[in-house]
């Protein structure tokens, strides 16, 4: 029995990996096959994590550190590689969202709070794509209080409305860590040295977590879960594959004619703009497709084009990238103590000043400049149209100016044949594109006026996308980047899709202050991914703030067994 279960587990793992790398392999065996569901349900993920504070001003950023724990895998490997984080209002409306890389089970990132939010309680929730196969009660939640100092209106739950789910804090072990400072009181802009120590009485050799130094009134709270959560029992429905290789896009295809086979149907995706790219997915026997997008950051504009073949119109339906399901959560009353009001007044003032004096956060530069880069790299042949006399038709351009392309007309149909030293190129149709968007009507393609074209690129070898093969590429670049104004195919459409959230520089050096610069920090120091080894003190230094008050030093993290640990110390600035 154990051998059978292991074989089934390996089959699930292999199908998930192959279907994301080679989307057309889904047509051979689908990971969405109901026979796989029982074994897939054994793979479970849990997210826990922290924020730098629990109290924010609109327009600020929420700093997040999360850990993903996976069970049910029979070897040490990461399952999901992308973490999804959302900021929700008490009514469940998404106000901000981000997708962050998971590396070595840890994920860090920042969410910017919209300026126009109303004052009130909000919930930060985090999950993986794989966790969407279960109920959202399995996600982690962190209640946050957000204040808009310019609007008096309060965003709060409807009075007497029945809220179905209560939240309870996760169990956090204290006493395994010690935080010490040289003094309990400091002057403004004094250099403060903090020493963190993982005590020898701990159960494990190290802990990993995040250090946050903030006003005492804004100190972060523990992560929370839905009370009585039993999401692992009988609630698994396999709809989403894990993000094994990056941000995943999935959906399904439908045909207008019933009983028409969906298996093998293709959907083409062109990424427009500076981060240009191209991908193609092939549906399985259930009409499902799932693929990893090329590595990109920010919001992408995608042109989605189902390839029409066979009987009945083919339509594509794209899955929402964030979970639209929301829970009716019990919301704590929004109230502020007098010390919290005083701290908020100061925080609001510093945030206003930050827009004038503070340098913008530095985004880490990606290793590749994707602007004006063709999806196929350097073409084997490029024809610059401005260097030649303008010919009346595109077909004449190919005949006279592009030596590797031969138009072949037969039975009222014209095909373009690409010459190549690779004889295998004749086994596959060429990929015909305009501004990197696939065109499947040769008549429409050849009707484009040469006056609209800036240059023509040709790839004279077999082109691979995943496991799909094309007999070379012909791509027309137009002067205006508008596909020469040709009519878009029926059932094609544009969508905005969130790729990875930009990575931010979180090094402590970004918090250094110039002599003439006012201190605008509401979070004095944030250090995610900080590892403490047993009995080895970790020194951390920072500058005391300009403003007097009570401040908290909070370390929150996980030991090697995955248990939550925390420690806290305080100091005063006179």
> What is the rounded average pLDDT of the residues 344-361?
76
- β-sheet bridge partners, residue 266: 282
Cβ–Cβ under 8 Å, residues 29 and 12: no
Give percent of the chain above pLDDT 90. Answer: 52
Pairing of strands 453-459, 381-384: antiparallel
Question: Is 424's pLDDT higher than 50?
Answer: yes
Q: Which of 226-240, 310-324, 376-390, 498-512 bottoms out in mean pLDDT, i.e. has the lowest?
A: 498-512
Question: Is 287's pLDDT higher than 70?
Answer: yes
Structure tokens belonging to residue 8: 């089934």
Of 541 and 505, the structure prediction assigns the larger pLDDT to: 541
Q: Which of 72-81, 274-283, 420-429, 450-459 bottoms out in mean pLDDT, i.e. has the lowest?
A: 72-81
Question: Is 54's pLDDT higher than 80?
Answer: yes
> What is the rounded average pLDDT of the residues 509-526?
76
pLDDT single digits (tens) 290-313? 888 877 888 889 999 998 876 678
Question: What contacts 502, CB < 8 A, 6 or more positions away?
Answer: 297, 298, 363, 364
| pLDDT at position 371 | 43
Q: Report residue 165's pLDDT band, with 50, 70 and 90 as the boundaries.
A: confident
pTM of the model as a whole: 0.86
Cβ–Cβ under 8 Å, residues 420 and 461: yes
What's phi and psi for 528, nearest 5 deg? -80, 160
pLDDT single digits (tens) 130-151? 999 999 999 999 999 999 998 8
pLDDT single digits (tens) 195-231? 998 875 555 578 999 999 999 999 999 999 998 765 4
SS3 readout for 394-440:
HHHHHHHHCCCEEEEEECCEEEEEECCCCHHHHHCCCEEEECCEECC
Angle at 403 between CA 402 and CA 409, to 5 degrees: 80
């Amino acid at each position: 029995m154990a051998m059978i279960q292991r074989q089934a587990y390996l089959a699930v793992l292999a199908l998930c990996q192959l279907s994301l790398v080679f989307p057309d392999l889904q047509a051979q065996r689908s990971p969405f096959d109901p026979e796989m569901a029982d074994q897939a349900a054994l793979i479970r993920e849990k997210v826990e994590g922290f924020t730098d504070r629990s109290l924010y001003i609109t327009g600020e950023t929420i700093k997040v550190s999360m850990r993903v724990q996976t069970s049910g895998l029979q070897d040490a490997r990461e399952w999901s590689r992308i973490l999804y984080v959302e900021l929700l209002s008490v009514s469940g409306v998404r106000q901000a969202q981000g997708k962050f890389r998971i590396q070595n089970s840890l994920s860090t990132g920042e969410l910017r709070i919209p300026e126009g939010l109303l004052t009130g309680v909000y919930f930060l929730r985090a999950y993986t794509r794989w966790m969407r196969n279960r109920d959202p009660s399995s996600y982690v939640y962190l209640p946050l209080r957000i204040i808009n100092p310019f609007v008096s209106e309060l965003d709060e739950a409807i009075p007497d409305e029945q809220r179905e789910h209560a939240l309870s804090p996760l169990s956090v072990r204290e006493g395994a860590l010690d935080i010490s400072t040289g003094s309990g009181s400091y002057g403004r802009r004094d250099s403060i040295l903090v020493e963190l120590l993982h005590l020898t009485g701990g159960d494990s050799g190290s802990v990993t977590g995040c250090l946050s130094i903030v006003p005492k009134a804004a100190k972060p709270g523990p992560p929370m879960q839905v009370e009585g959560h039993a999401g692992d029992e009988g609630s698994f429905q396999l709809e989403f594959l894990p993000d094994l290789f990056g941000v995943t896009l999935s959906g399904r295809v439908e045909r207008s004619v019933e009983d028409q086979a969906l298996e093998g149907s293709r959907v083409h995706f062109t990424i427009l703009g500076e981060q240009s790219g191209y991908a193609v997915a092939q549906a399985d026997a259930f009409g499902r497709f799932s693929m990893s997008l090329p590595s990109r950051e920010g919001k992408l504009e995608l042109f989605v084009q189902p390839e029409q073949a066979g009987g009945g119109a083919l339509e594509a339906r794209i899955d929402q990238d964030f979970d639209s399901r929301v829970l009716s959560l019990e919301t704590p009353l929004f109230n502020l103590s007098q010390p919290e009001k005083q701290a908020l007044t100061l925080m609001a003032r510093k945030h206003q000043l930050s827009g004038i004096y503070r340098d913008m956060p530095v985004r880490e530069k990606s290793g590749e400049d994707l602007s004006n880069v063709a999806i196929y790299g350097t073409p084997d042949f490029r024809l610059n149209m401005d260097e030649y006399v303008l010919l009346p038709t595109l077909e004449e351009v190919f005949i006279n100016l592009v030596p590797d392309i031969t138009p072949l007309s037969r039975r009222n149909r014209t095909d373009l044949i690409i010459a190549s030293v690779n004889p295998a190129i004749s086994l596959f149709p060429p990929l015909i594109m305009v501004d990197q968007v696939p065109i499947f009507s040769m008549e429409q393609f050849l009707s484009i006026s040469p006056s609209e074209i800036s240059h023509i690129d040709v790839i004279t070898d077999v082109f691979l996308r995943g496991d799909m093969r094309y007999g070379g590429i012909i791509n027309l670049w137009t002067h205006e980047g508008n596909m020469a104004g040709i009519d878009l195919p029926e059932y094609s459409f544009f969508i905005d899709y969130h790729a990875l959230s930009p990575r931010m520089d979180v090094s402590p050096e970004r918090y250094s202050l110039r002599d003439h610069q006012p201190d605008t920090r509401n979070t004095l120091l944030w250090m995610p991914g900080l590892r403490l080894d047993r009995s080895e003190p970790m020194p951390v230094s920072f500058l005391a703030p300009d403003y007097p008050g009570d401040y908290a030093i909070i370390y929150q993290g996980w030991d090697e067994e995955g248990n939550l640990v925390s420690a806290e110390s305080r100091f005063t600035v006179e």
